Amino acid sequence: MKISIIGYGEMAKAILYGMKSGKWNMESVEIAGRNEEKIKKLSQEFGCKGILIDDYDITGKTVILAVKPYALQEVSMRIKGEADTLISILAGKSLVELQKYIKAKAYIRAMPNIAAKYQASTTAVTGDEEAKDTATEILSKIGDVVWVNSDDEIDMATAIIGSGPAFLAIIAEAISDGGVYTGLKRDIADKLTRGLFKSFSAIGDNFADIKNKVMSPKGTTAEGIYELEKEGVRGKMIKGIVTTYEKSKKI
Ligand SMILES: NC(=O)c1ccc[n+]([C@@H]2O[C@H](COP(=O)([O-])OP(=O)(O)OC[C@H]3O[C@@H](n4cnc5c(N)ncnc54)[C@H](OP(=O)(O)O)[C@@H]3O)[C@@H](O)[C@H]2O)c1
């Protein structure tokens, strides 16, 4: 399979890292973009072919589109031909829009996150059935793949998966700040908070069960949860996810 990655930003690099460490044949991968220097640097680093995007022929290739969402139209004007499969990771750009701008036999939308760099992304994916195996094969190199049912669900997943690391970073920082407020040194509070996230990801129970197991009658956790609920932390979190989803529909 001939893979072509259009774009060489953070997500493109993360996918390249994943493919390389997953023992992908990097000689079958091309990196295309508009800046010769950047293409040269990255193609040397990953042992791929680097190509300028102008008049770039995507025919017969599996194209991973990893440019900024607003660049879709400009990129489409610079390339030619028909890809075998187009896998777009662009936030907010629907399958219909992709079909309008870039020719391909099959279309996939995927939403990874920055943990792709550590092969720890959970990537939400949707699109044409015939490209499912190809997309899963590539995207599983950067972590887990979760198939969702529609374009709209990718936008919903964007709020959780794409933006989620930023939301959790705010929560982690606040938890650590709370520890410092009570008297812990910053480095210890940070270390404990990081450990907390690691511990949490290891617990397979559903979320309500985790809370119920920790929250005992008249206990310390119950006191903290009462305070958080009084401040509307749950409603604020829900609102944050909903607002992010709505914004992704406007890109
Ligand atoms: N970052 C995340 O957490 C995340 C998560 C999920 C999905 N995404 C999606 O992934 C895509 C890339 O994000 P990123 O974080 O990798 O961004 P990034 O690091 O800023 O890289 C953006 C890439 O887009 C290229 N580009 C921008 N305008 C262009 C144009 N007019 N023509 C050709 N190339 C153009 C840039 O090339 P130049 O350097 O030449 O400008 C660069 O290669 C976005 O669509 C985003 O929605 C990002």
| Ligand 1 lined by 92 (C-beta under 6 Å) | no
Instruction: Point out the least confidently predicted range of 114-118, 178-182, 212-216.
Output: 114-118
Pocket-testing residue among 68, 88, 90, ligand 1, by greatest number of atoms within 8 A of Cβ: 68
Parallel, antiparallel, or unpaired for β 121-127 and 104-111? antiparallel
Identify the CA nearest to 89 among candidates 109, 60, 103: 109
Task: Tell me the two tokens of residue 106.
Answer: 């099959």
Pocket of ligand 1 contains residue 11 by CB under 6 Å: yes
Model-level pTM greater than 0.85? Answer: yes
What are 36-95's pLDDT values in tens digits?
A: 999 999 999 999 999 999 999 999 999 999 999 999 999 999 999 999 999 999 999 999
Q: At what angle do helices 233-248 and 164-182 cross, to 10 degrees?
A: 150
Report the pLDDT value the prediction gives residue 117, as an integer from 0 to 100. Answer: 85
**Is 111's C-beta closer than 6 angstroms to any atom of ligand 1?**
yes
Is pLDDT of 101 > 90?
A: yes
The atom number, within ligand 1, closest to the CA of 35 reads: 40
Domains of the chain: 3-148 (3.40.50.720), 164-248 (1.10.3730.10)
What DSSP line would sit under the chain, residue for residue? --EEEE--SHHHHHHHHHHHHTT--GGGEEEEES-HHHHHHHHHHHT-EEEESTTEE-TT-EEEE-S-GGGHHHHHHHEES-EEEEEE--TT--HHHHHHHS-EEEEEEEE--GGGGGT-EEEEEEE-GGGHHHHHHHHGGGEEEEE-SSHHHHHHHIIIIISHHHHHHHHHHHHHHHHHHHT--HHHHHHHHHHHHHHHHH--S-HHHHHHHH--TT-HHHHHHHHHHHTTHHHHHHHHHHHHHHHHTT-
Instruction: Please identify, by atom number, the ligand 1 atom nearest to the C-alpha of residue 112.
Output: 6
Which residue's CA is the nearest one to ligand 1's atom 20? 9
- The pLDDT confidence band at residue 203, using thresholds 50, 70 and 90, is very high
65 CA to middle of ligand 1, Å?
9
Q: What does each C-alpha distance from 116 to 10, 19, 76 come to in angstroms?
A: 10, 10, 26
pLDDT in tens, 140-149: 999 999 999 9
Give 251's pLDDT tier (boundaries 50, 70, 90): confident
Of all protein residues, whose CA lies closest to atom 35 belonging to ligand 1?
A: 67
Q: Of ligand 1's atoms, which has the minimum distance to the CA of residue 158?
A: 6
Nearest to 83 by CA among 103, 66, 56, 100: 103
Beta-carbon-side half-sphere exposure of residue 244 (alpha carbons within 13 Å): 22
- Tokens 């008249």 belong to residue: 218
